[in-house]
Amino acid sequence: MTYLTVPISAEKIEAAKEQIISATKRKAEMLELRLDCLGGLDIEMAVELIRTAKKSELPILTTCRDEAEGGKNGYDENLRKNVLAQAIDAGVDFVDCEFENFCRKDFAEPVKKALAENPKTKLILSAHNFKSKFQNARKLHSEITALFPDCIAKLAYKAENINDCFEAFDILSENKNSIVICMGQAGIISRVIAKKLGTVLTFASLDENSATADGQISIEKMKKLCRFDSIDEATELYGIIADPVGHSIGPAVHNHCFAAEKMNRLYLPLLVEGGQRKFGEFLDNVLKRPWLGFKGFSVTLPHKTNALEYVTKSGNYIEPLAEKIGAVNTLVIGCNDRISAYNTDYAGALDALTGAMGIGRKHLKKVGCAVIGAGGAGRAIVAGLADAGAKVTIYNRTEKKAQNLALEFGCRHAPIADVKNTDAKIIINCTSIGMSPNVNASPVPKETIKPDMVVFDTVYNPAETLLLAEAKEIGAKTVGGSEMFIGQAAEQFKHFTQKSCDESTMRSAVAKAMRR
């Protein structure tokens, strides 16, 4: 069992008692009493808090951390070692002591004596590096377990990049009775994947404001967003590769759908910083470790072209239109580590459009389309429309980009100001004009819109842009950006699972995530 452990870290004992109640209500599986966080700590106070915690009937881990390893209040070592010994006597389940201190006879003596008298309490020996990786984490882990074979070795280090997490995974895969945590935003996945690898415990904070380490996420996020309760060693892993990634609604949407379809799969936010090189390193790391169970990825800014390049160089499969678009947003890892790469943006956009019009893609043939924008979204949509045989005119602020795109896909182009004269049946905004916070802007003058037009805005924040509101007023058919998001996510889900997700499930997941 991997205990989902909530640190109790208040400064005042009454507040710490409140935290215990709150953690129990939130279904923590273990309490970590960070006794060093209590102001004016003495033995009586420590024992009082342990007694209160025992009433929760949850397993208790006790720490009185040395300031040199991230502890609070600078308590002297006499107090710290005696607090730990008393905690053991009071019957805590786990006691966490710094490995370096435990190697010293004078420090270890009272703790060892208490452990000998209370064999039920398990000893965790920990080492921390708050700045970076350990020089050799594996060696340090072996050293701890060689010197103290009965202990649980715990390493906590800062991951400066997501690739730093793989050393932690390697140690955990070979040593179940261990704890290896990567701190920092790049290390968040280590806190979740820890459960799949069968580690002893992982930490989650009581709420967004009470994390005791960088990158510690709340128990609510851990349970709701990361499906913690359903993770086991057979869980297949997916995720969105991005930088930044925190804003992405992908994890909420895909995890909701996996849960609704009763699939043992987990979708993680994967912060991959450092461009093409680190992106390649990340995929290499994943492919070298099939036992991690990564099966697919969504890919977004700034890695869509990096994904294409990686797959091209490694001679894997690329969907022809994704190659033509020059961007990949979906990777699927199949048998023998073969990767298949797709672009579901164009399919999502086309499905949103044809769905709203009640037609099939083939009915787009020769239909006049005005596409505003020639960035990533514009490119994918132009490629999709051109592939379906539509008559596309591209309007873009930087005209040269419109010209190049038009040349590539056999379309026409015109200055962005000319969009006011368009007689196209379909108008699509692929720029960020009208996106929050600039919600009073529209890329198309209201007079241009006619009741028999279809107006599609790829912007999804706000859900109804000024362009869509005006188009609705005129009586034109409208399609919102969330429809495109739903379309591309639904396509990805199919690539990941070879199954369709129930449409209403996907819709409600997207709506809920966007509201949040």
Contact residues: ligand NAP, CB under 6 A: 345, 373-378, 396-398, 401, 430-433, 435, 458-460, 481, 484-485, 488
- Residue 256 annotated to the active site: no
Minimum distance from residue 268 beta carbon to ligand NAP (Å) = 20
The active-site residue out of 345, 351, 391, 425 is: 345
Inter-residue contact 505 to 495 (CB < 8 Å): no
State in angstroms the smallest separation of the CB of 236 from ligand NAP. Answer: 25
User: Catalytic residue at 254?
Assistant: no
Nearer to ligand NAP, 111 or 486 (CB): 486
Closest CB to ligand NAP: residue number: 375
Assigned token pair, 484 = 């495109």
Q: Catalytic annotation on 345?
A: yes
CB of residue 46 vs ligand NAP: minimum separation in angstroms? 53
Give whichever of 2 and 431 is closer to ligand NAP, judged by the CB atom.
431
Q: At 470, which amino acid appears?
A: E
**Known active-site residue 128:** yes
User: CB-wise, 7 or 250, nearer to ligand NAP?
Assistant: 250
E strands, 9-149, in order: 30-34, 60-63, 94-98, 122-129
Q: Tell me how far apart the alpha carbons of residues 195 and 229 are, in angstroms, rounded to a whole number.
A: 9
Helix (H) / strand (E) element for 203: namely: strand 201-203
Annotated catalytic residue, options 72, 303, 304, 413:
304
Q: Cis bond leading into 244, ω under 30°?
A: yes
Whether residue 214 contacts residue 158, with contact meaning beta carbons closer than 8 Å, is answered with: yes
Task: Give me the least distance between CB of 357 and ligand NAP, in Å please.
Answer: 17
| Neighbour order of strands in the sheet with 330-333 | 265-271, 236-242, 294-299, 330-333, 339-342, 317-318
Residue from 141, 154, 158, 196 carrying the catalytic annotation: 154
- Annotated catalytic residue, options 81, 122, 128, 196: 128
* Shortest spacing between CB 404 and ligand NAP, in angstroms: 11
Helix (H) and strand (E) counts for the chain?
19, 20
In whole angstroms, give the CA distance from residue 80 to residue 60. Answer: 17
- Of the pair 59, 378, the CB lying nearest ligand NAP is at 378
Whichever of 204 and 374 has its CB closer to ligand NAP, that residue is 374
Nearer Cβ to ligand NAP, position 169 or 460? 460
Please enumerate in sequence order all residues whose Cβ is within 8 A of that of 504, keeping only pairs 6 or more positions apart, or say none: none
Q: Which amino acid is at 49?
A: L
CB of 331 to ligand NAP, least distance (A): 17
Place of tokens 């389940």: 93
Residue 29 half-sphere exposure toward CB, CA atoms < 13 A? 16
Are 239 and 269 a contacting pair, CB within 8 Å?
A: yes
Q: Which residues are designated catalytic?
A: 128, 154, 304, 345
